[in-house]
Amino acid sequence: MARSMAAAVIGILSLLLFALPSSATPMGIIPGKGIGPAFVGMRAGSARAALAKFGGRLSQATQGNIQVIGSASEGISVWIRGGVVRRVRTVNPAHRTVTGLAPGTRFDAITRESFCNKDGVRAAIEFERDERSHIGCPFAGLIVEVADGRVIAVSVIAACAPFDKQHGCPWRPGFSPERTAP
């Protein structure tokens, strides 16, 4: 009797845990580290498994020597090069930093000026692509894509000192971080 009761409890708990929608999964954006279960530096197989847990079909694309795998159901994707995740990107408004930066939030002139300031020095690197601005903060490990005054996507990359050629920081003047990511 006790065994069947324990089995029933375990069965109910399993059903509840696996039936939760993906939006119930903690999805913090951690600058320089990752988003939810996807982290910069993790192996490709682990990243694919993490995205597969959201359910739905995973999309795959190749951009040069970078493989992009995404979960449309969760709005998160990873950029893989050399078998390792180099960038994690989200378009899901439920994914946020501790300060509240998330897709869908306003990105006005004040936010733009305060984004990526370190000790009073603005270290953001900005470039235009199509109708969007990409604003990167290398020492924090964040890239925001902005269109019409709103954040449309947030990406996490490995944090590094901007323009540090000696230590391999991928950010160089005049180059897109997407084209030069390690």
CATH code that applies to domain 26-180 = 2.60.460
Q: Tokens representing 11? A: 């069965």
Q: Tokens representing 161? A: 């000192």
Which amino acid belongs to residue 105? T
Instruction: Locate the domains of the chain by residue range.
Output: 26-180
Residue 96 has pLDDT above 50, yes or no: yes
The Cα–Cα gap between 142 and 157 comes to: 6
Q: What is the pLDDT of residue 19?
A: 32
Measured from the Cβ of residue 144, the count of other Cβ atoms closer than 10 Å reads 26
Instruction: Choose among 45, 25, 21: nearest CA to 35.
Output: 25
User: How confident is residue 27, by pLDDT bands cut at 50, 70 and 90?
Assistant: confident
Q: Is residue 68 exposed (0-12), middle (13-18) or buried (19+ Cβ within 10 Å)? A: middle
Q: Which residue has the higher pLDDT, 74 or 114?
A: 74
User: How confident is residue 2, by pLDDT bands cut at 50, 70 and 90?
Assistant: very low
Global pTM value: 0.73
Q: Which residue has the higher pLDDT, 26 or 162?
A: 162
